[in-house]
Amino acid sequence: MKVLEKEASEAAEISRQTGVDTVIVLDNYSLHKSHLVRAKEKEWGAQGLSLFFLPTYSSELNIIEGEWHQIKSHEISGRMFKDEYELFQAVRESLRERSEKLGVKLQHFRLTETSPNVQRENE
pLDDT tens for residues 57-107? 888 888 888 888 999 999 899 999 999 999 999 999 999 998 898 888 887
What is the distance, to the nearest Å, from the Cα of residue 58 to the centroid of all Cα atoms in its chain?
18
Closest CA to 102 of 77, 67, 73, 76: 67
* Pairwise pLDDT comparison (119 vs 32), residue with the higher score: 32
Contact 11, 22 (CB under 8 A): yes
How is the chain split into domains, by residue range?
Answer: 1-57, 62-123
Lowest mean per-residue pLDDT among 42-46, 53-57, 89-93:
53-57
